[in-house]
Amino acid sequence: MKPADQIQLGLPTQVVLGWLLTAVAGFVDAVGYIGLGGLFASFMSGASVSLGVGLGDGDWGPVCQGAMMIASFLGGVTVATVLAGCMGAWRLPAVLLLEALLLAAAVALASSGWTISTAVLPVVAAMGVQNTVLQPVSGVRLGVTFITGTLVSLGRLLGQALLGRAEPWRLGGHVLLWGALVAGAVAGAILHVAFGPMALTVPATLVASLAMLSAVPAGTQSHSAGPQECHRQDLLRKADGPDGTGRRDGDPAPNHPSVWPYY
């Protein structure tokens, strides 16, 4: 069975969505980097190093900040995974909506006078959520919040292309994702100068819009799959027989536990 988002979306739509989400990651990382003085909102390697350096120096400020960011990121991934597993065809819009709500929560905290170190925690959780949204396509990781793997893949493809073992056009997907992150970071830095943490309203609105747009194919798929699923369940009930064991009238009793498949 294909993941729900691959069923709902065609390849061009997935690529555009992945590009936009990668730009969102660059945007919020720029805001977090400026506001936190060097910590990124989506790169947990930096938060982990900050935590480790704080432990080594006996400085509990970086330890607490790093620990809270890591916990928020893990929480976002965990909740999004559970939500996706429960929502079926609505997986994609539900997860995107969760990300948008977390970004909006960060805006609300910032506008209420909370410090950036606290207001950024919902952003970190949102970036954890974002990493669960899309599956890789042809080896390209769409919408993820880290770009090191993309550059490694780009470098490997570039080397293979120079050896004549890969088509040069395959480089484009990785280049576009890297460019999306940089473009998002540029926009985040510019808008942060003008609006401060309130600039997070932009990615929150964008992701919410993507959630609503993705709900259209999800609703179509859910509606069209309904009769098919009912027919499938009816066939399964008939196959199970009147007693639910899979035996029909006149069939011999099974020689193995009923949890085994009965043929």
pLDDT category of residue 72 using cuts at 50, 70 and 90: very high
Higher pLDDT, 74 or 260: 74
Average pLDDT over residues 86-109: 94
Asked whether the beta carbons of 56 and 37 are under 8 A apart, the reply is no
The answer to which of 27-36, 51-60, 233-242 has the lowest mean pLDDT is 233-242
- Residue 220 to residue 114: CA distance in whole angstroms: 41
- The residues pairing with 137 across neighbouring beta strands, listed in sequence order, are 140
pLDDT at 116: 84
Is it the case that residue 78 has pLDDT exceeding 90? yes
> Which pLDDT band holds residue 145 (cuts at 50, 70, 90)?
confident
Look at 73 and 227; give whichever has higher pLDDT.
73
How does pLDDT run across 21-51, given as a tens digit for each residue?
999 999 999 998 898 777 788 888 888 998 9
**Whether the predicted pLDDT of 236 surpasses 50:** no
Q: Please answer whether residues 142 and 18 qualify as being in contact, where contact means their C-beta atoms are separated by less than 8 angstroms.
A: yes
Q: pLDDT band at residue 138, thresholds of 50, 70 and 90?
A: low
Q: Model-level pTM?
A: 0.76
Percent of the chain clearing pLDDT 70 (strictly above) = 75
Confidence category of residue 137, pLDDT binned at 50, 70, 90? low
